[in-house]
Amino acid sequence: MSPSAAWSSVPRPRLFVSLVLLAVLAALGTGVSDAGAASGPSAGPTTAATPDRARYDVTLRADADGGHWAGRQRVSFRNASPEPLREVYLRLWGNGEDACGTPGAPPSPVVVSHVVVSHVAGGTPGPLTVGCTALRITLSEPLARGARTSIAFDVSLTVPDRNARFGREGAYRFLGNALPVLAVHDAKGWHLDPYVALGESFYALASDFRVRLDHPSALKVPATGRTRSLPGGPGRTVTLSVSDRVRDFAWAAGPFRSATETTPGGVLVRSFWAAGTPDAGVRLTRTDAVASIDRFGGEFGRYPYGELDVVMTPEFGGGMEYPGLVLLGITEEGGAVVHEVAHQWWYGIVGNDEYSSPWLDESFAQYANARFQGWDTRGCWSDVYWPDDSATLTASMAYWSQHRGQYHLVYTAGPCALADLERTLGAATMARLLKQYARDHWYGVSTTEDFEEAAQSLTDVDLGPFWEAHRIR
């Protein structure tokens, strides 16, 4: 099925571009093993996700072109579980694409990992596992319930030579999912899912970041959070970022052109674009970014982070969302900015386990996109094809990684299902459902069961048959 076939767009045909990312996503990745959603030792029947209330203090220095960053990272956190916490895991997602490294250039036999952690304090590191994306650190002492501790380590980041969320395009560097972050432990155990390039594996609790990026002054550095720049050493600038209650921290670096505007709702939108990015696409993207962040703030709750950085290049594949920052490929017709801005709520503010339940962010973001664009969704099921009777909208990335040609269903069948739910409940009730649901899960974690219960609470109609018919199981 053509990715755009499930939607009928109205007068603005350029907006069809936001679905082109589906074709890009279908071409990404190299396949992963069908690993379980959670693994490792379990701490018993607790349902509390831990470690929580984390704070990341990061100081990094870049080389001349922003392709390598090195420094020190400290992470403090609380044990929310009733059981003593004896270990934590760091996720080194930046190693995911190449697993445990790539051979160095001949004649060097050295194997290069893109994310390297060393000189750990506060615990004892074990060997890297899960394709070198998971590092177990046994804490120096067991951490009692409600108590806090910290670990610290040196970190080295080498930007891969590919155009990707952690990668590069010409003189521009993208550092998405580059910083090591804490894994989550809950009733299922440690979530140590494998990396997938098709979609996302990421699952993190809301945390605070204080990040200091020292870089050549010739490079502009858009980043998660509220940022400001200070003079550094000769020829250098220090970009400082403060981010509260976010699930990750990302940045980019390069000789971007830039512009800044404030939305009527008071959000600072900073736009950065690479040389060669089509001017018309940049203008359209900036307009849609400003309009959509205020629109979604009204629909789902006010955007809490104050600033949004929009990074645009001509060759980046589709789009990628991070808290307070989006990466976009831009044509003359614009890009997928509205979809990525919607992710600020669906994944960012209202979190979910993106490996086990990708529909909870992708389908919700695309439904919000469809409503913003005014697409006619009444006939959107006409070209939806399910591969077999067992396939479900709520499948995990373990399933979609093995059925790559069907992953577009998360972006097509998912928003179709939500549009049908709107027609079942009524537009006013659906709007109330989403706003209340976002409020109830603000900075928390959403599950399919939570959403089903919230929807059922607003109607006397039994929604059981609806969920079954729409393969929401």
Do 407 and 26 contact (CB within 8 A), yes or no? yes
pLDDT of residue 354: 98
Do 37 and 354 contact (CB within 8 A), yes or no? no
> Looking only at Cα atoms, what is the longest distance across the chain?
71
pLDDT of residue 36: 40
Do 249 and 209 contact (CB within 8 A), yes or no? yes
CA distance 5 to 412: 9
CA distance 361 to 346: 5
pTM score of the predicted model: 0.91
CA distance 274 to 138: 43
CB burial of 300-323 (b: ≥16 within 10 Å; e: otherwise) equals bbebbbebbbbbbbbebbbbbbbb
pLDDT per position as a tens digit, 155-211: 999 999 999 999 999 999 999 999 999 999 999 999 999 999 999 999 999 999 999
pLDDT of residue 110: 54
pLDDT of residue 247: 98
Check whether 27 has a pLDDT greater than 80.
Answer: no
Do 153 and 121 contact (CB within 8 A), yes or no? yes
Mean pLDDT of 113-128: 97
pLDDT of residue 428: 98
CB burial of 114-137 (b: ≥16 within 10 Å; e: otherwise) equals bbbbeeeebbebeebebbbbbbbb
Q: Tokens 């060097």 belong to which residue? A: 108
Check whether 215 has a pLDDT greater than 90.
Answer: yes
